[in-house]
A = this chain, B = another copy of it.
């Protein structure tokens, strides 16, 4: 069984077994983090370089007034943080949402690899580009879309991204998300998420499964409904959920 990191990087394009093995050979040790525990704390020195083997985590900022904004969710196969390579302080925290198995990387060996394997370096650069794309999409979502569309977009993104790391691709979100988590992602309140989700359920777009997990009933239908386009994920195979020529914009 291969690591979700490799699965994810293969969505960029060709990544030979040699490059994959080389990357895996940088592993230093695994570490298990319990839900609610920090993988990285705001204002702390960043040193560790790691990826997520299993479990979900979140990047977030806590504000002086007690509010919280979730910047991004981290799924199996996501790398956190290439930025750790330069000496700087974290401007946000990362907290486990489920039990998270981390794979810590030996920075020295990793840097050697970057130098010597151009294909691998390109794939890792791609993962940075994808992460930036995800951040930008999040800005658009929060800045210019209604609560209903925001929520639909978030769910669609999560379903897509979990598939990239080897998770389910049938519309089921593999972990239970609380209303509060969705609210803090989307800049809304849990109460309003509750109402909005009820609407989506009423309209048959989303269903609630055992253990509080959500399922998108028909991914294509919801994507069409919500003007969702996966181009920002920069996947190699052009399998946009929606592949309308030209899409939305000027």
What is the interface of chain A, defined by CB distance below 8 A to chain B?
Answer: 42-43, 59, 61-65, 67-69, 71, 83, 85-86, 88-89, 91-93, 115, 122, 125-126, 128-129, 131-133, 135-140, 142-144, 186-187, 227, 231-232, 234, 246-250
> Which chain B residue has the least Cβ–Cβ distance from A123?
B86
How far does the alpha carbon of A132 sit from the alpha carbon of B174 in the complex, in Å? 28
Say how far A219's CB is from chain B's closest CB, in angstroms: 19
How far does the alpha carbon of A142 sit from the alpha carbon of B66 in the complex, in Å? 16
Q: A85-B125, A132-B83 are in contact. Are A139 and B139 (CB under 8 A)?
A: yes
Let me know if B143 and A187 touch, CB within 8 A. yes
Specify how many copies of this chain sit in the oligomer: 2
Q: Which residues does chain B contribute within 8 Å of A142, judged by CB atoms?
A: 139, 142-143, 187
How far does the alpha carbon of A131 sit from the alpha carbon of B135 in the complex, in Å? 11
How far does the alpha carbon of A137 sit from the alpha carbon of B138 in the complex, in Å? 12
Let me know if B136 and A227 touch, CB within 8 A. no
Write 23 A-B pairs (CB below 8 A) sorted by A numbering: A42-B249, A43-B247, A61-B136, A61-B140, A62-B248, A63-B140, A64-B227, A64-B249, A67-B144, A68-B144, A71-B139, A83-B129, A88-B126, A91-B133, A91-B136, A91-B137, A93-B250, A115-B115, A131-B132, A132-B132, A135-B136, A135-B139, A142-B142
User: CB within 8 A of A69: which of B91, B131, B143?
Assistant: B143
Let me know if A86 and B122 touch, CB within 8 A. yes
How far does the alpha carbon of A137 sit from the alpha carbon of B139 in the complex, in Å? 10
Q: A83-B129, A144-B187 are in contact. Are A63 and B136 (CB under 8 A)?
A: no
How far does the alpha carbon of A223 sit from the alpha carbon of B63 in the complex, in Å? 15
Q: Which residues does chain B contribute within 8 Å of A89, judged by CB atoms?
A: 231, 234
